[in-house]
């Protein structure tokens, strides 16, 4: 049985590594070089990054041009540890964004996924996930943080669970074990973006 201390230590190690990767890639300055504003969101911003190696950013531009978006990613792609890039153009949807995913191979050979959602300033999700992160952080106690990290740790690598599912289950509905989380997810199937915050 893995102790809470070991889980917290792993979370801390992965958070430090993620921040090293952000510095190493100069990701924030790359986006700023095309006039964009960069915000760290997601589990890393809330101290809830566990074993799923992902780093999430929301990036804002007004106007947002594909030329600028691709220029920033061309600069990121020059980094020798970036091994893959993917792009989805969602500018003509409610999300009003260009969705970028980059994969970074670290010194230990582990792959990290960097998600960069490049949004039109003033669009529907402008600031939404920053507010969600702020609200979740405000209600997190050490005990609740440990519960969320343990649930993430106990999730099999083959199971895809969005971060907000853990947070909603634990913070709103009192889920405390992985078995309870599995039941909760069956009762709360996901369809698209989950718009919830405490």
Cα–Cα distances (Å) from 64 to 24, 55, 122, 127, 145, in that order, read: 26, 22, 11, 16, 36
**Average pLDDT rounded to a whole number, residues 68-74:** 98
The Cα 9–Cα 137 span in angstroms is 19
Mean local confidence (pLDDT), 105-114:
96
State the pairing for strand pair 111-120/97-105: antiparallel
Residue 104: pLDDT band (50, 70, 90) is very high
- 28-47 pLDDT, tens digit each: 999 999 999 999 999 999 99
pLDDT given for residue 75 in this prediction: 98
- Position with higher pLDDT, 94 vs 72: 72
Mean pLDDT calculated for residue range 107-111: 94
Cα end-to-end distance, the chain, whole Å: 31
Confidence of residue 192 (pLDDT cuts 50, 70, 90): confident
Opening angle at CA 98, ends 189 and 138, nearest 5 = 55
pLDDT of residue 176: 97
Under the banding of pLDDT at 50, 70 and 90, the label for residue 2 is confident
- State the pLDDT at residue 190: 86
What pLDDT was estimated at residue 69?
98
For residue 23, count other CB atoms closer than 10 A to its CB. 10
Give the residue, 169 or 195, on which the prediction is more confident. 169
Q: What is the largest CA-CA distance in the chain?
A: 52
186, 162, 176, 142: which is closest to 54 by C-alpha?
162
The pLDDT of residue 1 is 56
Q: Which of 158, 188, 153 is nearest to 173 (CA)?
A: 188
């Amino acid at each position: 049985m893995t102790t809470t201390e070991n889980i917290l230590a792993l979370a801390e190690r992965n958070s430090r590594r993620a921040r090293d990767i952000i510095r190493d890639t100069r990701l924030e300055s790359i986006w700023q070089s095309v006039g964009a504003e960069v915000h760290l969101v997601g589990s890393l911003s809330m101290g809830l990054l566990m074993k799923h190696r992902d780093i999430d950013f929301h990036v804002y531009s007004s106007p947002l041009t594909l030329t600028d978006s691709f220029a920033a990613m061309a600069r990121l792609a020059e980094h020798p540890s970036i091994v893959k890039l993917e792009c989805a153009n969602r500018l003509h949807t409610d999300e009003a964004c260009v969705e970028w995913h980059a994969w970074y191979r670290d010194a230990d050979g582990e792959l990290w996924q960097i998600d960069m959602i490049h949004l039109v300033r003033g669009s529907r999700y402008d600031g939404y996930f920053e507010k969600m992160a702020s609200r979740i952080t405000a209600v997190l106690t050490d005990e609740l943080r440990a519960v969320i990290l343990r649930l993430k740790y106990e999730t099999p690598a083959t199971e895809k669970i969005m971060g907000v599912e853990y947070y909603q289950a634990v913070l709103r509905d009192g889920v405390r074990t992985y078995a309870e989380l599995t039941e909760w997810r069956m009762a709360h199937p996901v369809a698209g973006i989950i718009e919830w915050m405490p």
